[in-house]
Every structure is written in structure tokens, then in C-alpha cells.
């Protein structure tokens, strides 16, 4: 069994805990050290419980706290070569560089990193596995490519990005250049793109769909959830929205068969293709 909890997810900071047996991993640390410790404590986790921190990319809402966390507590930080090269604060006490196409193991959890299309030096996300349970993080990417979709097939839980509602982004305070960046192929997934991805990977063993990285100015929890449920209306009890300013509960995932997931993903390629086309077409 894998357990997952969010310390917070959104444009102002992102951090996700994943644990199994005696292994606890933190994916990204986008809050200050003080805030990170407070949020971990509310879930019963201390820095000494952390096996390691996995970093997806160098943007501040994902790395703000890793330097202080490393220097004060010596927690190992795992990141790609490109991400390390772009860190503003690279004074890490203990770190390991990994390749985004090379799986590795930490404690009892297997990590399968995969590159993502995002405007960062060497952005990646992760599929994590313990025994037969698999959980994936799929945020900070402009499109869900066939390669990424293949990585998501058969997972028992997924944190999928729902960064923006298209209409709110168009009518919001951001200038056209920033809107274009967000919508672009190296920006973020919007609500309209996330729904078809969830539909493509849905299967009986997909126990949790966590909607994350919502923009506070260009999205709402209601808009994100309604958009995804329009694609998977039968999944209402499995879809939850992560908050920016509060921690989530623990979500438990167990392993189940994945055969239907592969079939569904192949049959839904055209639906995901629509999201790629939508992002590419916007200028």
C-alpha cells in the first residue's frame, strides 16, 4: 500500500508526501522551511522521518525550502543534473543527481522518473511504486504527450494538474504574454486538458484522482472538478481537489490489475490529442 498526502498544491507552493512501510519521500518542497515543518507536523511527519526529497524542477514554488531543509536536517535531495544547475540555492549538504529516464529505488519505494514538457531546465515527474501499488505525479507540463500518457497507464492514484480555467485565464489579470506561456506546450495543463487525460487512464484500479496546482487567480476548485467530471462522470467519489493553503488527508492506494487501463488509454488517444491541439493552437 502507498499513502499520499499533500502539504499544499498551487502556484504559491507545492509539496507532496508519499510513504510505504518505513520509507517516506517528499516530492518537492515549495514552502519555506518553517511552513513546511508546520504542515508536515500536522500529518505526523518530522524531518527525521524523511528518507529523501525528490525535486521535479527548479521553479521556486517547488524548491523554496530545499536548501534550508538540507542544511538543517541533512535530508538527501534527489534531482536531475539540469535542475541542480539552475538552483538559486545549491548549498545542499547531501544530494544525488539522477537521469530522468533511469528508475531507482529509495527504501521500499521504486521511483520511475520521466521528463515532462515544461519551461524548466530538465523538468521531470515521477511514478512511485511499492509492491503492486503505483502513484504518479503529473503536473507542470504544457501537454500530456504519448510518452507521459504511457507512464500513467495502470496507476492506482494520480496527482494531475488543473492549473487554469480557460475563460478565467482569458479574462483575468495576466498580460497576454503570460497567458500564452501558461497555455503553451511548455506551460501548464488546464482543466480542459486534464479531463481527457483522466478519461484515458481511468480503470477499475484507479482509486484516487487528485487535482492539483490550481491557480488562485485563474481557477476555482469547482471549475476544476466539474471539468474533470465532465470527462469521467462516474468517478465523482474518486476525485478530490488539493488546496494551496492547507494540507490534505492521507490517501491510501493498493495495487490492482492494469489490463483495462492499457486498453482504455489506447482507445482514448484521440481525446488526449485534443488537449495537445488546444494548447498548440492558442497564441
Q: For 32-52, what is each residue's pLDDT tens digit?
A: 999 999 999 999 999 999 999
Q: Write the DSSP assignment of 213-258 as a string of letters.
A: ---TTT--HHHHHHHHHHH-GGGGGGEEE--SSS----EEE-----
Q: Does residue 20 register a pLDDT over 90? A: yes
Number of CB atoms found within 10 A of residue 217's CB? 12
Q: Tell me what pLDDT residue 21 has.
A: 96
Number of CB atoms found within 10 A of residue 93's CB? 14
Q: Tell me what pLDDT residue 147 has.
A: 97
Q: Go through the domains of the chain in sequence order and give each one's CATH number.
A: 2-281 (3.60.15.10)
pLDDT-above-90 percentage for the chain: 89
Over residues 68-88, the pLDDT tens digits come to 999 999 999 999 999 999 999
Cβ contacts of 35 within 8 Å, gap of 6 or more: 13, 65
Q: Does residue 203 register a pLDDT over 80? A: yes
Q: Write the DSSP assignment of 71-127 as a string of letters.
A: HHH---EEEEHHHHHH-S----SSEEEE-TT--EEETTEEEEEEE--SSSSS-EEEE
- The answer to whether residues 156 and 133 touch, using CB atoms and an 8 Å cutoff, is yes
**Mean of per-residue pLDDT scores for the chain:** 92
Q: Does residue 103 register a pLDDT over 60? A: yes
Q: Region 171-191: what's the mean pLDDT?
A: 97
Q: Tell me what pLDDT residue 264 has.
A: 43
Q: Tell me what pLDDT residue 240 has.
A: 98
Q: Tell me what pLDDT residue 17 has.
A: 98
Give 249's pLDDT tier (boundaries 50, 70, 90).
very high
Q: Tell me what pLDDT residue 272 has.
A: 53
Between 79 and 271, residue with greater pLDDT: 79
Q: Region 149-165: what's the mean pLDDT?
A: 98
Q: CA 39 to CA 43: how far, in whole Å?
A: 7
Amino acid at each position: 500500500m502507498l499513502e499520499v498526502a499533500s502539504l499544499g498544491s498551487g502556484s504559491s507552493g507545492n509539496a507532496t508526501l508519499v510513504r510505504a512501510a518505513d520509507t517516506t519521500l517528499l516530492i518537492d518542497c515549495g514552502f519555506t522551511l518553517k511552513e513546511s515543518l508546520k504542515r508536515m507536523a500536522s500529518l505526523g511527519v518530522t524531518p527525521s522521518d524523511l528518507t529523501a526529497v525528490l525535486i521535479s524542477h527548479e521553479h521556486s514554488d517547488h524548491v523554496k525550502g530545499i536548501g534550508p531543509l538540507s542544511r538543517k536536517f541533512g535530508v538527501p535531495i534527489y534531482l536531475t543534473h539540469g535542475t541542480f544547475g539552475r538552483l538559486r540555492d545549491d548549498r545542499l549538504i547531501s544530494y544525488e543527481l539522477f537521469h530522468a529516464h533511469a528508475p531507482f529505488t529509495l527504501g521500499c519505494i521504486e521511483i520511475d522518473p520521466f521528463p515532462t514538457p515544461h519551461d524548466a531546465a530538465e523538468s521531470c515527474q515521477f511514478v512511485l511504486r511499492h509492491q503492486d501499488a503505483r502513484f504518479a505525479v503529473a503536473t507542470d507540463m504544457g501537454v500530456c504527450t504519448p510518452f507521459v500518457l504511457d507512464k500513467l497507464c495502470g496507476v492506482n492514484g494520480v496527482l494531475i494538474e488543473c492549473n487554469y480555467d480557460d475563460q478565467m485565464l482569458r479574462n483575468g489579470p495576466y498580460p497576454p504574454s503570460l497567458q500564452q506561456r501558461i497555455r503553451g506546450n511548455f506551460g501548464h495543463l488546464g482543466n480542459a486538458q486534464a479531463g481527457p487525460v483522466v478519461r484515458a487512464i481511468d480503470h477499475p484500479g484507479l482509486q484516487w484522482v487528485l487535482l492539483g496546482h490550481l491557480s488562485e487567480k485563474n481557477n476555482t476548485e469547482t471549475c476544476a472538478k466539474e471539468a474533470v467530471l465532465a470527462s469521467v462522470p462516474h468517478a465523482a467519489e474518486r476525485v478530490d481537489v488539493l488546496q494551496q493553503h492547507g494540507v490534505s488527508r492521507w490517501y491510501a492506494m493498493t495495487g490492482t490489475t492494469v489490463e483495462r487501463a492499457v486498453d482504455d488509454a489506447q482507445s482514448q488517444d484521440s481525446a488526449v490529442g485534443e488537449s495537445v491541439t488546444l494548447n498548440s493552437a492558442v497564441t
